[in-house]
Chain A
Amino acid sequence: MADHAHSDEPLLVTPLHAEHVALGARMVPFAGYDMPVQYPAGILTEHNWTREHAGLFDVSHMGQALLVGPNHETTAKALEALIPADIVNLKPGQQRYSQLLSDEGGILDDLMVTRPVDPAKDGTLLLVVNASMKEADYAHMQARLPADVKLVRADDRALLAIQGPKAAEIVARLAPDTADMAFMAAKATKLAGLDVHLSRSGYTGEDGYEISVAAKDAVALWKALLADPEVKPIGLGARDSLRLEAGLCLYGHDIDTTTSPIEGGLIWSIQKRRREEGGFPGAARIQSEIKDGARRVRVGLKPEGRAPAREGTIITTPDGREVGIVTSGGFGPTVNGPVAMGYVSKDVSAVGTDLHLVVRGKPIAAKVAAMPFAPHRYKR
């Protein structure tokens, strides 16, 4: 059997590292951190547990930072110069998904942006960026922000996610004021007596929360949530299969500097005002793709049979014309079969189109499929 070795560079750890090791997790290098890919239950069991109960994830490797300016409009406009989302009209206590864009309209990273509820924090925005991109993102932003808006790293904070149909009632038992929050709402509260900032969002397609907490309180929060028998720890392996079934992009795989938000099927994250006004990097290209369509687009793919088609698999038409490439693919435990996503030429992107995926030199029949593969169950 062949395995792929990892480099021996020193790895960073999250505040929950010792908890993972104590739980018997298999630790692997990910984005420079030593992270749990799975616990002894295994990826399939962890995936299914999250879909049926509640899974707890340590995502403290992700980059948390604040943008701090004199008032909301100033800070929002500074960020809008870098991303295509409408932040000026983001209401207090609301979160939005967006992308940092290059001047060519490629995606430098994707991120979550939250406007705090607290009027005393007017002018502050909370950002969560990908672990692998955080240093580059912070440098990119710092070089482009106006003098009166500062980027403040929040490296002293941990981030936990609790996801699944039982997540909301479990969190509500520890923080009753969270029960009526809707999808993409955010607030500061106390959870099990600890100061947290949480948002009703996640990366699994399930209802749940992402919870930011001071690093010093991370272990106490982790233990308080795990104390509920409905909650099990979930590693990065199941996080990946959950987000793939949910049709959500993984940066560096499904979106990167070569893909625009329109090619990536992320037009929903560009609000009307920004589509019309532009004023973000790469606006000319993106507005033209909105008007005329992109030449290639990200689609879901459902291979026939059982063989997974992994990232890098070439996509062809049934008569062998190369039309694209798989960017994420694997086994979907909830679908109980292989699922994938990738980029194909516009002319073969309609749902139901017959395509071939070339796996180990052999064509496998597949159809363009609607995403998500597993229905989203957000609290609307």
Chain B
Amino acid sequence: MTTRYTKDHEYVRVEGDAGIVGISDYAQSQLGDVVFVELPALGKTLAKGAEAAVVESVKAASEVYAPVSGEVLEVNSLLEDAPGTVNEDPAGRGWFLKLRITNPSELDGLLTEEQYNEFVKSIS
């Protein structure tokens, strides 16, 4: 199982030809308490870098971008009633959406976990 990261703090966990997209632990800690998540419609086609979701903390709204291109297969409906799950378990139960990855080669341009951790260290 491979997980890749963007410099905008999204992750994509690759499971076969699908990718689970969420935000990193660093991102949730920077946002603070998440109070609302707007998720895309099922079947929507997202280009890499397009707005995939919106995450709202008490303070502000932030966009979540698609780390790779794909079609939305599933969204995490748990976040509708329990948006704080993003803070509690960002890499697990706090995932946002599942994409069918249309161009797997885009994954090569993303950061590995080690590279991402180095990047976070360099900005914090």
Using a CB–CB distance below 8 Å, which chain A residues touch chain B?
Answer: 1-4, 37-38, 42-45, 47, 237-238, 240-241, 306-308, 310, 330-331, 333, 338, 360
- B30 nearest in chain A by CB position: A3
Select B58's contact among A2, A237, A307, A360, beta carbons within 8 Å. A237
Select A44's contact among B8, B33, B54, beta carbons within 8 Å. B33
Set of chain B residues within 8 Å of A2, measured between Cβ atoms: 8, 62-63, 65
| Given A43-B58, A331-B58, 17 further pairs, Cβ under 8 A | A1-B62, A1-B63, A1-B64, A2-B65, A3-B30, A4-B60, A43-B32, A45-B33, A47-B58, A238-B58, A241-B58, A306-B35, A306-B80, A307-B36, A307-B56, A308-B35, A310-B60
- B59 nearest in chain A by CB position: A237
- CB of B23 within 8 A of chain A? yes
Q: Answer whether A331 and B35 are a contact pair too, CB < 8 Å, given A1-B55, A2-B8, A306-B80.
A: yes
Which of B32, B38, B54, B80 gathers the greatest number of chain A CB atoms within 10 Å?
Answer: B32
With both chains docked as a complex, state the minimum distance between the C-beta of A150 and any C-beta of chain B, in angstroms: 40
Select B59's contact among A1, A37, A338, beta carbons within 8 Å. A37
Asked whether B59 lies within 8 Å of A43 as measured between CB atoms, the reply is yes
Using a CB–CB distance below 8 Å, which chain B residues touch chain A?
Answer: 8-10, 23, 27, 30, 32-33, 35-36, 38, 54-65, 80, 83
A349 to B40, CA, bound (A): 33
Select B36's contact among A4, A38, A43, A308, beta carbons within 8 Å. A308
Set of chain B residues within 8 Å of A240, measured between Cβ atoms: 59
Asked whether A330 lies within 8 Å of B58 as measured between CB atoms, the reply is yes
What is the interface of chain A mostly: helix, strand, loop, or mixed?
mixed
With both chains docked as a complex, state the minimum distance between the C-beta of B122 and any C-beta of chain A, in angstroms: 16
Set of chain A residues within 8 Å of B33, measured between Cβ atoms: 42-45
A2 to B33, CA, bound (A): 17
Asked whether B61 lies within 8 Å of A310 as measured between CB atoms, the reply is yes
A330 to B35, CA, bound (A): 9
Asked whether A330 lies within 8 Å of B59 as measured between CB atoms, the reply is yes
Set of chain B residues within 8 Å of A330, measured between Cβ atoms: 58-59
**Which 8 residue pairs spanning A and B have beta carbons closest together?**
A331-B35, A44-B33, A43-B58, A2-B63, A1-B8, A306-B36, A1-B62, A1-B9
Set of chain A residues within 8 Å of B55, measured between Cβ atoms: 1
Q: Answer whether A308 and B65 are a contact pair too, CB < 8 Å, given A1-B27, A237-B32.
A: no
A209 to B59, CA, bound (A): 25
Instruction: Name 15 A/B residue pairs within 8 A (Cβ), A-sorted.
Output: A1-B62, A1-B63, A1-B65, A3-B30, A43-B33, A44-B35, A44-B58, A237-B32, A237-B59, A240-B59, A306-B35, A306-B36, A306-B83, A307-B56, A308-B61
A331 to B33, CA, bound (A): 10
A81 to B36, CA, bound (A): 47
A37 to B8, CA, bound (A): 22
A47 to B30, CA, bound (A): 18
A1 to B5, CA, bound (A): 11
A44 to B87, CA, bound (A): 12
